Structures are given as structure tokens and as C-alpha cells.
Structure 1
Amino acid sequence: MLVWERPEPPDRPTPAPLSRELIVGAAIRLADADGLDAVSLRKVAAVLDVGPMRLYGYLATKEELLDLMVDAVHAEVRPTGHDWRTVLLSLAHATRQAVHRHEWLADLLGGRPQLGPNTLACGDAVLAGMAGVDLDTVVPAVAAVNAYVIGAVRREITERRAERASGLDKDEWQTTHGPYLKRIFADGHYPALANLVHNGPHLNADHTFEAGLALVLDGIATRVRGRSA
């Protein structure tokens, strides 16, 4: 039986109250502060001031805890819209915002079972907003947007972590590595890259995300028009 279906143990207010909601909340706070490596059943139990064995009445493994954490954060992802494009835009933005609030989510998106109540509610809202589009288009369209968003936010979080680790912001990174690139491009071996660096748009993370998402949605629009013609 999946964790979503198993009943919780009877309430025991002493020595300390406990529930799946309290356990997941403590785990999320640990992960928000110090990443997924900071999450263990022992550490969660310590935060809640209970013995680790008490947690096993509410979940069987750390993997179940991770599933519960991902689903809990999906309560923050509430896609809205009355047509396919606005609901997919809403899904993309809400997912990205949730990842920015909870960096660890970038490490788990796409790799966990999407069976919890909040995750299912999110998927149902997306499909409801896409009513009228044939399912042969809906399925790959939602998959394409999810794949784009997961890839984009993972890149953003990876770059954010690398910046913190190096201690260099974007301007400092360019100052440090710019002379190297100038020397490399000066020999003429990478003309296309040199042209991009010198003449291409230099977008920030928000603009990069929006531009890529627009390309994905424009491709979906072409499919939608073709199927309805």
C-alpha cells in the first residue's frame, strides 16, 4: 500500500505530537536551509524532539519522505487559465517559482512518482484548462513544457550553486574569464561562438526562461492549429 493510502497512527499528544504533516514540514525546513543532504529521519526526529523510531509509524523509508516533500510543495503549484496556452504558462511559472523557493526540488522533479494529492490536483487543473484540445496533442504538449521547465530550473539552480561556491557573481566571473575567451576567439577557430559572444543577446535568467518557454509554446500552437484545421 502506498504512503498516500496508509492511515496514520492514532494521535499521541505526549511526549510530543506527531503527524505526517509535521514530519514533512520539518524535512522541508531542513532541506530549504541546507539541501537534501541535511534530510534524514534522525535529523527530522531531532527537529520534532521525538525518537527516530516514532517516525516509522508514519512512513517506511526516506524515499517515502522525499515523495511526501515533493507532493507538499506541489500545493504551491496551482496552474490557472481558461485556454491551453495560459494554463501551460501558469504551470511553467508556478513550478519555477516553487523551485526558487525550494532549491532542492530541482534535484527531485521528474524523478519521483507523481501520485500524491497535490501533484494529482496540479495535473488535473492543467488538463481542465486544456479542455477542447485533443488528447493526442495534450499529452506531448504537457510533457514538452514539463521537460523544458525541469531542464531550465535545474540549469538555473546549478548556476546559482556554482556562483555561491566560487564566490563570484556574474560580472566578476566575466572579468575573471573574459581575457581567456578573448585569446581563444582571437585565433579564429570558433567564429560562430565569437559572433554569439560579441553580437548575441545577453539575457538574464528571467528573460532566458521566458524566451525558451515562448519557443516551446509557439511549437505547440502550430500543432494545435494543424490538428484543428
Structure 2
Amino acid sequence: MTVWDRPEPPTRPAPLDRERIVAAAVALADEGGLDAVSLRKVAARLNAGPMRLYGYIATKEELFDLMLDEVYAEILPEERPGDWREALGTLAHRTRQAALRHEWLADLLGGRPALGPNGLAVAEATLSALDGLADIDTVMRAVETVSAYFTGAIRREIANLRAERATGLSKHDWQRASGPRLTKLLATGGFPALTKAVYDGTDVDAETTFTTGLDWVLDAVAARLSPPRG
């Protein structure tokens, strides 16, 4: 039986429910990441005894499942997508936006399928937009391919944000600090492709990088979904 199927115990002696527990856990994670979340810390924030929480949630993993589903409510499209490309693009962008609000989300993406009501609603909205375009296996691979792209891209972006906070150096600060050593290495002539990338490449922001990569992936998916010309 999943945490969503298990009934909640009575709220006496003090008001307590899974909604309040999850809200407290999300607040803790937003402040300090998943390492800041434990049943003891959540209980303390709610002024409740830790043992009381076990009537609602059996393990920390169940709590993470509930937190993930809470954020899926933010990812769920507000309107029915117009077509499959909009559906997958919306899923990618809304997931990225949610991860920028809740950086810990990046640590939970790509794991087990989300079985909470909001996670299932997101999956249904996405798959229904591709219904009838190809056989179900092709549709599933298309969704998995786009998901693999934005999961990796989001994790990289969040990792960079964390590195900036840990070192106190922005991306451009780090580039300036690393510049002399990199310039010396490139001057050896041993890295011609890298030299071209450094000196001739365009430096773009994270959102532009994300959107460009997503468009390329969606173009590749479109080629698989389109029937062969004959």
C-alpha cells in the first residue's frame, strides 16, 4: 500500500496532516536541500513529537515521494497543450522552472516513476498529447528521450548554481580566475578544437542553452514521429 492509499490517523491532540507535513518538509528542503530534511526536523518545525509523524509517513523516502508530488502540481500544465511538441516543451520548461524554485528537485528527477496524483496527471497530460502519432513504444521512447535531456540539463544547471554559492565565484568570475592557466595550455597548440571553441564560440546564458538543446531534441523526435514519405 502506498502512502497515498494509507488513511491518515486522527489529528488529535494537535492538528496535523500530510499536507502540513509536506509543506514543512518542502520549506526545509528549499532552505537547505534534501540533507536538511528528516522526520525529526519536520516534527520540530511543526511543534510535534517525531513519533507522531510515523502515523502519517513511514519512511523518509515516502516523505520525498510526497514532496516530489507536491512540486509536480507546479509542473502540471495549466491548459491542455495544443500539440505534442508543445506538450513536451512545456513539460521541460515547467520542470526547469520548478527546479530553479526548488533546487532539491534536481536530486530526485530521473528516479522511480512518480506515482502520486500530480505526477500521474503530468504523465497523462504528456502522453495524451502524443496519442495516435505512433505506436506506444515509439511514444514512450520519445517522452523518455526528452525527459533524459531536460533532466541532465537541469542537473548541470543546478550543479553550477551550487558551485557558485560554494566558491563565491560567478561563472564569469571563475572564467577570469581560470583564464591565465587555460590560455597557457591553449597556446601549446595541443588543443585546436578546444581553442576554437574558447575563442570563436558564443557565450550564452543557461536559459538559451536549455531552449536550444530542447529544440534540437524535439526536432529529432519529430523525425521519428513523422510517417515516412513514400
The bucket for the TM-score relative to the shorter chain is over 0.9
Distance 1:6 1:86 in 2: 36
CA distances 1:67-101 after superposition (whole Å, capped 9, x unpaired): 11111110001134121101101000010001011
Work out whether 1:150 is the aligned partner of 2:151.
Answer: yes
Unaligned 5+ runs, structure 2: none
Deviation at 1:203, TM superposition (A): 1.4
Distance 2:224 2:112 in 1: 29
Deviation at 1:200, TM superposition (A): 1.4
Deviation at 1:228, TM superposition (A): 7.7
Distance 1:111 1:87 in 2: 21
Residue type of the alignment partner of 1:92: A
Q: How many residues align?
A: 227
Query: Identity rate of aligned residues, in percent?
Result: 59
Distance 2:222 2:109 in 1: 25
Distance 2:72 2:228 in 1: 31
Which residue of 2 is the match for residue 188 of structure 1? 189
Which residue of 2 is the match for residue 216 of structure 1? 217
CA distances 1:80-136 after superposition (whole Å, capped 9, x unpaired): 412110110100001000101100010011123411111000000111222231223
Work out whether 1:48 is the aligned partner of 2:46.
Answer: yes
The residue correspondences of 1:27-176 to structure 2 (distance < 5 A) are: 27-79=25-77, 80-134=80-134, 135-176=136-177
User: Is the Cα–Cα contact under 8 Å of residues 76 and 118 in structure 2 kept in the other structure?
Assistant: no
CA distances 1:26-73 after superposition (whole Å, capped 9, x unpaired): 000000011111100000000000000000000111111011111111
Residue type of the alignment partner of 1:160: L
Deviation at 1:21, TM superposition (A): 0.6
Distance 1:93 1:227 in 2: 30
Structure 1 pair 112–227 and aligned structure 2 pair: CA distance change class (3 A): same
Deviation at 1:143, TM superposition (A): 0.2
Structure 1 pair 217–190 and aligned structure 2 pair: CA distance change class (3 A): same
Distance 1:167 1:226 in 2: 51
Residue type of the alignment partner of 1:142: V
User: Is the Cα–Cα contact under 8 Å of residues 73 and 118 in structure 2 kept in the other structure?
Assistant: yes
CA distances 1:199-220 after superposition (whole Å, capped 9, x unpaired): 1121110111011101100000
Distance 2:113 2:131 in 1: 25
RMSD: 1.3
Deviates more, 1:45-54 or 1:131-140: 131-140
Distance 1:197 1:178 in 2: 10
Residue type of the alignment partner of 2:27: R
User: Is the Cα–Cα contact under 8 Å of residues 3 and 64 in structure 1 kept in the other structure?
Assistant: yes
TM-score, length basis structure 2:
0.95
Deviation at 1:157, TM superposition (A): 0.4
Distance 1:195 1:157 in 2: 27
Work out whether 1:3 is the aligned partner of 2:14.
Answer: no
Unaligned 5+ runs, structure 1: none
Distance 1:202 1:71 in 2: 35
Distance 2:229 2:65 in 1: 38
Residue type of the alignment partner of 1:125: A
Distance 2:150 2:98 in 1: 12
